[in-house]
Chains A and B, each alone.
Chain A
Amino acid sequence: MRSDERGSIAVTVALLLPLLLTTLVGVVQLGALRVIAAKVASAADLATLAATDDQDQSALVRTGSLRLAPDAVAVARTFFALNLSTIAPLLATTPVSVAAQAEIAAFADVPAVDPLTGWRYEHPTVRIAVDVPVRTPVFGVVLPTTMTVRVRSASAPR
């Protein structure tokens, strides 16, 4: 290598290094975002499962059929907030606030069609639909620091 080429390589590396670092950080951030989305979805899933498990015992005695408890929506909201608390640092707002803004519905009378999702339910179902704002600090350089994870979860006894 000739001595006059050394300068051009250094310039090239200096120019490309930020781009490489940015790409690397972006990949890491996207992976983290997927993990966060999975955690939020799990929080919603577990909340709907807990609400589905909350059955109306008196209705069961009277009719022999499973029926969601009257407080199924409240149970789902409470559990959703509790489940989100484990990833609270990753959220752009508080877990309670996220749970409060979630659209939670209980479909006790079936079959039914969910007007929000269009899903058809054959069994009593609890559904959570929510857009959860999460932090993306690495993106802060070139992208918004807050992104939204959309979650749709429904559970029923089958």
Chain B
Amino acid sequence: MNVRVVLATCVLVMMAGATSASADGLDPGGGGAASTPTPLAVPPGLYLVTDVYAGSVVVSNGGTTTYSTVTVRATPGTYARLLDVVGTGAASQYDGRSFNGRGRLTDGRLIAGAYYQTFILTPTGFVAVNIVFFQDDSETRTFVAPTPVITALPATSWAPRSSASVAPNATPTRTPFPPAPTMPPVPVAAAGVSLASDGPILASFEVLRGRTVQLWPRAFVDGVAVPVRSWRVVSGAEGIGRTIGTGTEPAQAQWLVPSAAPTDVRFEVTADAAAGRTLVASISVVVRSPALLQ
């Protein structure tokens, strides 16, 4: 992963005490300063986030363990800047300040990577939200079966080859590998649209011409409904009143012209429980009109 290209964020979500100004900054085209027609002057070193931090991944393949970061292609409207690039074992002034932490290799050294700071744009300027660490490192260990190790080491521990001491009289011991680090479970997030705040998710619905309905974009993580932070209509906006909103308000919709074919309404949904991800929800609508049968 090219860390320099990846611009971080994630966060807004982690901040339970996010202000309303922050929420405005999340909504592309929202009522914040980001939607003003005047050109936005971005301070040097600050980039628009186009890849959002989704999680840290540790993958073990044979004797090689790779520490990387998963990102999601999205443009949530936040900004970031590179704070520090650190090598394996090197200390940084930002250690302990990132919300996701900086792990260590199996030999105890700190993992290499880069620190980014995330910002949101408010009417008063850019406001720092948090610091995120993008890990980018790997380690390779070679299993040498006959290498004798000192018996004082716990039998179940794994000693890096460089730190092994040789005791000629010691009993050769097959050193087991430590449990292979597994990829942390990635929660499955999904979104849908219902006609009530607690209604079932619908793929399509019918509506009478001129009748007002409420469309509730909803988000789910691992099948459990989670609060929606914001939503916006990305397509099929005809008939929709406001095209952006928060999770506490539905999209008011009314169609005045019957449709011969179904119309798809597509939302982009963000939720705190699915930090850094933009979920897509869509629903198909057929507009009907009461008519006499002849």
Judge whether B288 and A125 touch: CB under 8 Å: no
Cα A119 to Cα B293 with chains together (Å)? 9
**Chain B residues numbered 243-294 whose CB sits less than 8 Å from any CB in chain A:** 258, 288-293
Residue A85, interface by CB 8 Å: no
Judge whether B293 and A60 touch: CB under 8 Å: no
**Chain A residues numbered 104-154 whose CB sits less than 8 Å from any CB in chain B:** 119, 121, 123, 125, 153-154
Judge whether A60 and B290 touch: CB under 8 Å: no
- With a cutoff of 8 Å between Cβ atoms, the chain B residues found around residue A154 in the complex are 292-293
- With a cutoff of 8 Å between Cβ atoms, the chain B residues found around residue A64 in the complex are 195, 202-206
**Chain B residues numbered 176-202 whose CB sits less than 8 Å from any CB in chain A:** 194-196, 199-200, 202
Judge whether B292 and A61 touch: CB under 8 Å: no
- With a cutoff of 8 Å between Cβ atoms, the chain A residues found around residue B196 in the complex are 61
- With a cutoff of 8 Å between Cβ atoms, the chain B residues found around residue A49 in the complex are 290, 292
Q: Chain B 53-68 against A: per-residue CB contact (8 Å), 1 yes, 0 no?
A: 0000000000000000
A-B contact count (CB 8 A): 59
Judge whether A157 and B202 touch: CB under 8 Å: no
Cα A119 to Cα B211 with chains together (Å)? 28
Residue A83, interface by CB 8 Å: no
Residue B208, interface by CB 8 Å: yes
Beta-carbon nearest neighbor of B216 in chain A: A61
Beta-carbon nearest neighbor of A123 in chain B: B288
Min C-beta distance of A123 to chain B, whole Å = 8
Cα A121 to Cα B289 with chains together (Å)? 15
- With a cutoff of 8 Å between Cβ atoms, the chain A residues found around residue B203 in the complex are 64
Given contacts A53-B208, A64-B195, contact A153 B292 (CB under 8 A): yes
Min C-beta distance of A98 to chain B, whole Å = 20
Judge whether A156 and B200 touch: CB under 8 Å: no
Beta-carbon nearest neighbor of A126 in chain B: B290
Beta-carbon nearest neighbor of A45 in chain B: B292
Partner of B292, one of A48, A65, A121: A48
Beta-carbon nearest neighbor of B211 in chain A: A55
Given contacts A61-B194, A61-B195, A157-B288, contact A66 B293 (CB under 8 A): no
A/B interface sample: 16 pairs, CB < 8 A: A48-B292, A53-B290, A60-B206, A61-B194, A61-B196, A61-B199, A62-B199, A64-B195, A64-B204, A65-B205, A123-B288, A153-B292, A154-B292, A155-B291, A157-B206, A158-B291
- With a cutoff of 8 Å between Cβ atoms, the chain A residues found around residue B194 in the complex are 61
Beta-carbon nearest neighbor of A58 in chain B: B196
Judge whether B195 and A60 touch: CB under 8 Å: yes
Q: Chain A 53-78 against B: per-residue CB contact (8 Å), 1 yes, 0 no?
A: 10100001111111000000000000
Judge whether A156 and B205 touch: CB under 8 Å: no
- With a cutoff of 8 Å between Cβ atoms, the chain B residues found around residue A45 in the complex are 292
Beta-carbon nearest neighbor of A120 in chain B: B293
Supplied contacts A60-B206, A66-B208, 7 more A-B pairs, CB within 8 Å: A52-B290, A55-B208, A55-B211, A63-B202, A155-B292, A157-B289, A158-B289
Judge whether A156 and B293 touch: CB under 8 Å: yes
The 3 closest A-B pairs by CB, nearest first: A64-B205, A157-B288, A52-B290
Min C-beta distance of B237 to chain A, whole Å = 20
Beta-carbon nearest neighbor of B290 in chain A: A52
Cα A148 to Cα B278 with chains together (Å)? 66
Min C-beta distance of A140 to chain B, whole Å = 34
Cα A62 to Cα B258 with chains together (Å)? 22
Cα A154 to Cα B289 with chains together (Å)? 14
Judge whether A62 and B200 touch: CB under 8 Å: yes
Cα A79 to Cα B204 with chains together (Å)? 32
Partner of B205, one of A53, A60, A157: A60
Min C-beta distance of A150 to chain B, whole Å = 16
Beta-carbon nearest neighbor of B258 in chain A: A158
Cα A156 to Cα B293 with chains together (Å)? 7
- With a cutoff of 8 Å between Cβ atoms, the chain B residues found around residue A155 in the complex are 290-293
Judge whether B202 and A66 touch: CB under 8 Å: no
- With a cutoff of 8 Å between Cβ atoms, the chain B residues found around residue A63 in the complex are 202
Judge whether B288 and A65 touch: CB under 8 Å: no
Partner of B293, one of A53, A55, A65, A121: A121
